[in-house]
Each structure stands twice: as structure tokens, then as C-alpha cells.
Amino acid sequence: MNAPYSPSSFSARITRQVARFAARRPLPIHPDHAIVSFSFDDFPKSAATLGAPALEQRGWRGTYYASAGLAGTTNHHGEQFDAGDIVDLNARGHEIGCHTFEHVDCAQADVDTVMDSLDRNANALRRMGLSEPLSSFAFPYGEASLEAKRALSSRFASMRGVRAEINRGTGDLNLLRAVALDGGDAGIERAIEAANSLIQAPGWLIYYAHDIQEQPSEWGCTPEQFDRVCHAVEASGARVMTVRDALKSLLEDQT
């Protein structure tokens, strides 16, 4: 995340709220077992070098939403991913998902700008060596306009926001809910509580993280905190899948 999300006006705040309840693509979510997906936004190199091995040692894989315009740069999250990370993560079974190229805010940019950014992102990731199609998208800052939800609905199998809830009952494939792995120990405890709740009430819990380092950014976590969340997920008995595979499993359950 380049900066905290801040609607520029009262109308922008209304746009954000309306989009949560309109242009929905309903997904029935009534699994007989809990599902957890770990996702990483932007994404910092530490999400690949520390996050991926932590998942892999448990036999899990994650979804990495890449903003290709950030590749090779350094910001408050630390060093960002590069082409080698894209190829390596994909080869190891992780999913590469789509952000906007330059992390443009889909709640405030017009649809043409958003679509151009998505095309640039897809083209850049292909040049980096990604051969698989981008089927999962995450809205930068977690927000979308009604127009963006409608325009992107036919382009991606799923789109994710940042509303801090578990997907249960009926989810919105155009704005899936997700729980942050940030906020210090208090935020991590909330993430652990979400995993614990799956034991009694199965659903699809999507986590999203940014950097993983000993001195994380405001939107990051430490390796120890990440491990605590992974331990809670293990204890919950949930199946851990990429966003793409989790959606496939949920759709198969309906047939």
C-alpha cells in the first residue's frame, strides 16, 4: 500500500459505501470445512522470501497480488518483488494475482484509467515470465467504485477488498472480504480470533499481508506474528488454498 486509503470527499465516501452493496456477484459459501487463503498485496520481496517458505513448510501456497509498476523499487514496505520472484513463486505453486500497475485507486480513478492500468500490469507480468492468466484481483486500498466493480466483473474470477470479515453465507465475488495481518499484536490477535472462529463456524477466511520483517511497516507484520497466525490456522483444521483454488473448490461443492 503506497499510502493509507483516504476518500477525497464526501461523495467519494458515499461511492465507497454504495459499491459494497451494489454490483454484487453472489457466491454461496456453506462449506462443510473451513477454507483459508493467505494473500499478499503489492508485493514486498519479504512476502516471497519469508512468507512463501513459512507457508510451504506446512504444505500451503499463497496468492501474490502484484503491482508491476512497483517491481524493483523500494518503499516503506522495503524492497519490492522482481521478475525472478514472479517466476520462482509461480514455479513453486503459488498464485500470481493482479493489482493495478501503479497501485491506482479503483474507487477514485475513472474506469478507462483502471482498465488501462490492468492491461499494463498484465503485459508487464507476462514480460517478467508469467505465462498463466490472471484470474484473481485485489483492489488497491481495498476499495472500488460501482463502475469499477461492473467493468472488472467479467475480467476476473474473483476480486478482493479489505473489509475485515470472513466470507460466510453469501459472498460477493466482486468484493470478497479479507482480514489484515497488520496492526501490531492487537491486529494479529484479531487475525488469530478469526481463525479460531472457523472451528465452530466454517467459512472462507482470506488473509492479506504486505511486508514481513522484524521492524514491519504499519501494514506489515513480523515473522513471529506471521507464524502465530499460521499456527492458529493449523489448529483450526482449515484447508489452506490459494484464492484461485479456494474458489474452484467452493464452486465444485455446488455441483
Q: Where are the domains of the chain?
A: 11-253
Beta strands in the chain (DSSP E): 26-29, 35-42, 63-66, 74-75, 78-79, 95-98, 136-138, 158-160, 169-172, 179-180, 204-209, 239-240
Q: What is the pLDDT of residue 3?
A: 47
CATH topology of domain 11-253: TIM Barrel (3.20.20)
Residue 143: the pLDDT is 87
Does the structure show a pLDDT above 60 at 12?
Answer: no
Please tell me the pTM assigned to this model: 0.94
Tell whether the model's pLDDT for residue 181 goes beyond 70: yes
User: Does residue 236 carry a pLDDT above 70?
Assistant: yes
Segment 111-140 mean pLDDT = 97
